[in-house]
Amino acid sequence: MTTIDNLLFPAIEPYRTGTLQVDELHTLYWEECGNPDGTPVLFLHGGPGGGLSPNHRRFFDPRHYRIVLFDQRGAGKSTPLGEYRNNTTGLLISDIEKIREMLGISQWLVFGGSWGSTLALAYGEAHAHRCLGFVLRGIFLCTQAEVDWFVNGMGWFYPEVHQRFANAIPEDERGDLLQAYVKRLFCDDPAIYTEAARNWSRYEGSCLFLKPQAEAIEDFESDAVSLGIGRLEAHYMLNTAFMEDDQLIRNISKIRHLPAVIVQGRYDVICPPATAYRLHQAWPEARFHLIGDAGHAAMEPGIAAALVAATEQFKKKMAFD
């Protein structure tokens, strides 16, 4: 029987971890796994605010890759958790460069899913000469249309989940759910913002998989996960990721010369396939894999298998370059 555990590389522990203070407010957690002398690869987690999981280390052959992972501002083990101040796409790109320079890495493969794909594209377009290529999953470009879909459109497929999300807001404020949640998520009362974050995060967690998984929903409801996801997703969506309109597509020429693999679930309700297809149309040189029996999560079997296949393809390609 094929399971996620069988599809990924064996579980590993970091050979080095640390923290990096990037300003007076934020300190980042980072780790390195695999082969210290291997091909560097950067893993960018989703959310924003999603943080790392031990399984994220397992998309890469640890004998070949020097695997670098970090919790972005306000996420996971980085502190303060859920902090949205001093938190923009430009600052995250700057953080990536600080980590690269700290580790003495010249170039790396960039791997990101969902919000991680947004950040991977933004980073690549800013620092193309630092990138060996890209593995991108569940594409999100943070356009206004995608934000509107997340806040309202998912109700077409998950009406009961969306109703619970909306019912947490007084009826007279439901005409603009994003603003209503922002009002609560960014207030000073922990009781109010933690509950709002839990409701927001549960909403997303309930729509992740092709077949909803109770364990994933429970994880997204936890304080350790929900505060980062709820606050930072709302923060970035409110500001359309601090980017110009359709910036990532308009600047795609900056990275079209680099190899890329796009992996997308056919039934991804959170980041619908139209966005990944649009990216591929702008970047036809990228390999495009539409997984017919998958939703949004990286741990869908078809998606996990395609991501591992992509990192293996890059491994073979780099051996002959």
Q: Which among 143, 178, 115, 110 has a CA at the least distance from the CA of 274? A: 143
Q: Which among 59, 4, 72 has a CA at the least distance from the CA of 309? A: 59
114, 117, 201, 226: which is the annotated catalytic residue? 114
61, 71, 95, 268: which is the annotated catalytic residue? 268
Tell whether the torsion through CA atoms of 59, 62, 68 and 74 is positive or negative. Answer: positive
Q: What is the spatial distance between Cα 237 and Cα 255, in angstroms, rounded to a whole number? A: 24
Phi first, then psi, for residue 256 (nearest 5°) are: -65, -20
Q: What is the spatial distance between Cα 212 and Cα 285, in angstroms, rounded to a whole number? A: 34
* The two structure tokens encoding residue 118: 């947004």
End-to-end CA distance of the chain: 36
Residue 114 annotated as catalytic: yes
How many CB atoms are closer than 10 A to CB 238? 17
26, 45, 289, 296: which is the annotated catalytic residue? 296
* Residues labelled as active-site residues: 114, 268, 296
